[in-house]
Amino acid sequence: MVSAYGLTDVGCVRKVNQDSLLLAPELGLYLVADGMGGARGGEWASRIAVETVQQVVSEATVRDESILATAYDRANFRVWERASQDSSLDGMGTTLVGVLTLDEGIAVASVGDSRAYLFHEGELSQLTEDQTWVNEVGRRLGVSEEKLKVHPMRHVLTMAIGVSNPLTIKTFRLKPEPADQILLCSDGLHGPVSPDQIQAILIAPMPLEERCRHLIDAARKAGGPDNVTALLLEF
């Protein structure tokens, strides 16, 4: 049995919310996407991505992590295809992180730097790896964490839906235990809000809706520099 709740917020700086989220309990599908691109490109990209994944999963006859990989590939093509039809959307793309519930456990898939966390027995752990210059290049070069926080490449993605071909999709299975929580979020949350702050909110005895609101509020209190989305699942 899974309970889920999600919220998205424009933040304190941006004028348009380019994040999208999907809760489709009838499919056991939960997604967070963080769009990027000029004009309203990011908004289009994230929306197309979640709608495409939803469609592919709803039509699938097999239910495992391969379905998410297939759906992400289809989303990659459809976002690119839409951008190729409208010059104002050229270069648009989106991150995408999602959970699909299975007969036993869940499948998780990610592209970009939107993250999945596991909250288990009072401890928060990051499940996904950021596909970013900082994580894949900067840290391997030995650049200090202090310098990485202000590095001009700190926001650069190495992979995104709609602009990467071939697409590298990180997928894995997990078997959550009773009372475990899974948090899916955009970097508007995990950027300004520390893991300790997130953990303190998830451990608090309150409904999922309130936890999501507290997560959004924490990002806004930290300056809300980006759109922020939080989607919580509790098993």
- Banded pLDDT at 62 (limits 50, 70, 90): confident
Residue 145: both structure tokens together: 């964490």
Smallest Cα–Cα separation from 213: which of 64, 8, 54?
8
pLDDT over threshold 70, residue 233? yes
pLDDT score for 156: 76
Determine what percent of the chain is predicted with pLDDT higher than 70: 89
Q: Record the tokens describing residue 69, joined without a space.
A: 């990989």
**How far, rounded to the nearest angstrom, does the alpha carbon of residue 4 sit from its chain's CA centroid?**
15
* Selection from 219, 231, 235 nearest residue 11 by Cα: 219
Boundaries of every domain in the chain: 3-234
pLDDT at 64: 85
Q: How confident is the model over 135-153, as a mean pLDDT? A: 62
197: tokens are 């702050």
Convert the pLDDT of each residue in 70-121 to its tens digit: 999 999 999 999 999 998 888 899 999 999 999 999 999 999 999 999 999 9
Identify which of 168, 143, 167, 166 has the alpha carbon closest to the alpha carbon of residue 154.
Answer: 143
Contact predicate 93/77, CB 8 Å: no
CATH 3.60.40.10 is right for the domain spanning 3-234 = yes
pLDDT for residue 152: 61
Residue 65 has a pLDDT of 85
Query: For position 164, what pLDDT does the model report?
Result: 82
Q: Is the pLDDT of residue 142 over 70?
A: no
What's the half-sphere exposure (Cβ side, CA atoms, 13 Å) at 64? 2
The owner of tokens 């475990």 is: 180
